[in-house]
Structure formats: C-alpha cells, structure tokens
Amino acid sequence: MTPLALAAQTPDIPSSLAARHLLAGREHQAAGSLPEAIAAYRRGFDAAAIEGRGPDLVAELHTKLGNACMLGASLDLAAESYRAALTLAPHLAACWCNLATINLRTGNAQDAVTLYLQALKLNPSHWPSRSNLAEALIATRQHLVAKALLIELAEERPQDAQVRQRLDKVCHQLNEPQAALAHFRQAVALDANDAESLYWNWRHQPDAWRS
C-alpha cells in the first residue's frame, strides 16, 4: 500500500489532500525514496492550490521539498524551495539555516554568515546555525570570532567531535600550534574515524604515533 493510500485510511490523518501528499512525501523521504518524495510534495502544491490552503501548509511543502532536494544534491532547487518557504513563513529558523548552508557549500560564505545570523535572531539556541556559523566565519577568515564561538560550543557539548575539529582548524589558522594539537587529539579521541584530524595530528607531531 502506498503512503498516500495508507494515510487516507489511517485515523487522525487530515482530510486535506494536500496534507496527505505532504505526509506521503515525508514517508517516501524517510524510506530514502527521494524522487517519489519530491513528486509527492509537488502534487501537494497542486492540491493546495485547488483546496485554497493557507500559507503555513504551502510553506511546509516548500520546506520539505527543499530538504529532499538538498539530500539529493540539487542545491539550486533546494535554495529556490527554501526562499519560497521563507516568503510565506519568514519565522522558520531552520529554513534560514539550510539556505545558509547551501550558500556555504557553493562558495558564498559571506552570504552564509548573514543567513545564519538571521536564523539565530529567530532562534538563538539553534545548534546547526551556531555550529555552521563557525565554519562560515572560518571560511571568511574571521578566525578570532570563530574561535570564541567554538569555545562556547565546546563548553556546551564537550563530546562533539566536529566542534573540536573546527577548533583545531581555527587554532592552526591563528598560528597556535599547541592549542591546535590539543584539539586535534581531542577530536581523534572523540571520533577515531576522523581521518582529517588523524592526518593533522601526524603532520604536527609525526613521532606521536610511535611512542
């Protein structure tokens, strides 16, 4: 039975056809079937137009479509979907964050900084925005600001290997080899499969692995 047919027969599922298409798309996406998910979301737009649904549902369809396109590496389509969602619902911090991440991935780091900051205005505790803002700050060579942010994040989540990895990068850029090496080692201790930190650890102290 398809997700849409199942939704139609399940109690507590909205009677709205657009909402059922949204649910079907989410089910397909959770199963890893991205083309089917994208098709379901697009059918949701058509149904929402016919039913005269409000902006909240349409914004959610745009958001979920953006997520599916992002997972499928269709970054231009994802960005277009997030912008459409934000036009209808500018309060969606996660959308601002995802749009920022697309800009970061496509080499527009300064725009990414601006978009991450917009997300944080809406939700100051949004972890992906705070964490990825540090990466964007590094990319724009704002190393001191990035370091201060990363130290704050490391205090909140001392077991986060990615934060330690970013700290090792920024300390290296600030010519702080001892601090960089300490963060390299912590990143490796937290994630033994962290190949980048293993490489940098070896580069900074090639005899460390022989002792």
Q: What is the residue-wise DSSP string for 161-177?
A: HHHHHHHHHHHHHTT-H
**Distance between CA 31 and CA 163 in Å, rounded?**
30
60-69, 117-126, 158-167: least confident range: 158-167
Instruction: Fill in the amino acid letter for 12.
Output: D
**Distance between CA 131 and CA 73 in Å, rounded?**
21
User: Residue 168: what pLDDT?
Assistant: 86
Residues 185-196: tens digit of each pLDDT: 777 777 766 656
Average pLDDT, the chain: 86
CATH architecture of 141-211: Alpha Horseshoe (1.25)
User: Residue 105: what pLDDT?
Assistant: 94
Residue ranges, CATH 1.25.40.10, the chain? 1-90, 141-211
User: Residue 118: what pLDDT?
Assistant: 97
Residue 208 has pLDDT above 50, yes or no: no
User: Residue 166: what pLDDT?
Assistant: 87
Q: Per-residue confidence at 155, pLDDT binned at 50, 70, 90?
A: very high
Q: Per-residue confidence at 12, pLDDT binned at 50, 70, 90?
A: low
Residue 2 has pLDDT above 60, yes or no: no
Residues 72-113: tens digit of each pLDDT: 989 999 999 999 999 999 999 999 999 999 999 999 999 999
User: Residue 193: what pLDDT?
Assistant: 67
Instruction: Give me the long-range contacts of 70-76 (CB less than 8 A, separation at least 24).
Output: 70/98, 70/101, 70/102, 71/29, 71/34, 72/34, 72/38, 75/102, 75/105, 75/106
Which superfamily does CATH assign the domain made up of 1-90 to? Tetratricopeptide repeat domain (1.25.40.10)
What is the CA angle 105-111-114, rounded to 5?
120
Model-level pTM?
Answer: 0.80
Average pLDDT over residues 144-157: 94
Residue 1 has pLDDT above 50, yes or no: no
- Which residue did the predictor score with more confidence, 30 or 172? 30
- pLDDT > 90: what percent of the chain? 64
Q: Per-residue confidence at 197, pLDDT binned at 50, 70, 90?
A: low
Conformational region of residue 34, where left means phi above 0, alpha means psi within -120 to 50, and beta covers everything else: alpha
